[in-house]
Each structure stands twice: as structure tokens, then as C-alpha cells.
Amino acid sequence: MTDWSTLIDACGSAGHVPALLDRFEADPSGVWSELMDHLCPQLDTAFTASFAALPRLAEIATAAGSENLGGVLSAAGAIASCSPGLSEPDSPLMVFSAPIAVLHDLANRSLSQTAEAEAEEYVNLLQALLSFEGVETWDRSLSGLQTGEYEVDCPYCGVNVFVVIGHDGYFCCTDDYSLQEVQKSPLQPARGQQLEGLPRRLFERALADGQERLAHGVRHLFGRAACPDCGTGFSVSERVVAGWIP
């Protein structure tokens, strides 16, 4: 049995967390923000009580209906994404490997059941899936595929570059394209056969799940761009990783 009084959350002693989890199970959408305030504020900080809550979150997710499952998985995914990697001693991803495996299976199945119109939910589930696997950076950096924009810096001149991937097109620019006409430099998407490792997996997974627009976005995210100011070519994904602040 977990002695919650010996653990901490964002507010101090975690003795109240079991009751909070009970309320979350009864009303996931209504209690989600409060749960995150205690266990994973700003979705980027976790505590001993946060990781200890993963077994209970796996139970809640297993029993949740389809309308609430995504919220439970995103809560658990946010916590898992704060864990030290699998190579670290006593990583929570290893300590709580059994409930994380349950959460991973649920996320995996939910992805294939998410309609293309629900792109935001799909990206959130995909990030949760990666967090349960211990994938770093991309477990929290795929949201630009849904919002349609990343901000990076040019590796040569340092200027801030908007990389647009989505409804507004596929280009990069250095000025606010939503307010004025700007000089645009087209993105060069990676060919499907050029993708390897995680990028290829993301591309093929999105295609298999009927998320064709997101699959197209993956090709551009892992493709190349050129700075509109100095003309320097760069890998979009490498600049996203370089600018990532965990």
C-alpha cells in the first residue's frame, strides 16, 4: 500500500491525493485541471505523488468510457513525460512499468479509433503514447502539427523563423504572416522513403490511422527549410529539438 503522507505533490503533503483521484474518476473532465495543478502543473513538472498515481490512473483509464478516456490518458501521459529516461536508475517508467504498459495499450488502441476530424485529440494521444515509451522531446513537441506552426531560430543568423505546417500552407517566414503579406520560403518535405526511425513510424502510423493531413505534416516537420533572411538551409526537426526547453 502507498503511504501517501510520505509523498509530495505541488502543494506539499500528498495525503489528499487518493481522494482527489476518487473525484477525478467520478468526473474526469470537471476535475482534470485541479488534478494537473497538484500532480503536473503546467504539464511539465511532476512529483513523487505524481508517479505514484500512475497505477490508479491506469485503473481509471481501463474503466473509463470513450468520452473520458482521452483525458485520463493525457493526464497520465503528462506525468510520464516528466520522468527521467529509461536509462536512468530507478526511472519511474521502470518502477511503474506494469501500469504504464496498460496505459500504453489503451493509447495505442484509442489512436486507431480517432477520426481525422479529431486531429487535436489524435496528437494528444500520440504524445501520450510516446511518453509511455520514454521518447524524449517529441512526447511534448508534436502539437505544432495540430496548431500548424513551430517557432525556431535560424542556425546561421539567429533570426526567429515561423515554420508553418498545415491549413495556412507549408512555408517559413520571419514576420507575422497572419497580419501582413510576408516573404515566404517553401518547405521541402522529406520523401516517405527518406524517413527512418521515429519519423517513419509517426508517418506510417498517421497514414494507417487515416490521419492523412497529419502524415503530410510529419513529412514537412522532418523535412528542410531555408531562412528567408539569410538563405541558410536547415532541418526543421533539428531546430525544433534545439529550441526545446524541457
- CB contact set of 122 (below 8 Å; sequence gap of 6+): 111, 114, 116, 146, 209, 211, 214
Instruction: Using the 3D structure, point to which of 78, 107, 133 is the last residue of a domain.
Output: 133
Cα–Cα distance measured from residue 16 to residue 4, given in angstroms and rounded to the nearest whole number: 8
pLDDT of residue 117: 76
Cα–Cα distance measured from residue 58 to residue 21, given in angstroms and rounded to the nearest whole number: 11
Q: Which residues of the chain have pLDDT under 70?
A: 246
pTM of the shown model: 0.94
Using the structure block, give the residue that is written with the C-alpha cell 500504453: 104
On whether both 35 and 99 belong to a single domain, the answer is yes
At position 246, the amino acid (one-letter code) is: P
pLDDT of residue 17: 97
Domains contained in the chain, number: 2
The whole domain housing 226 covers 148-242
pLDDT of residue 245: 72
pLDDT of residue 167: 82
pLDDT of residue 1: 81
On whether both 19 and 115 belong to a single domain, the answer is yes
pLDDT of residue 96: 96
- The residue count of the chain comes to 246
Query: Is residue 224 classed as helix, strand or coil in its secondary structure?
Result: strand
Which one, of 99, 92, 19, 27, lies nearest residue 56 by Cα? 99
On whether both 126 and 8 belong to a single domain, the answer is yes
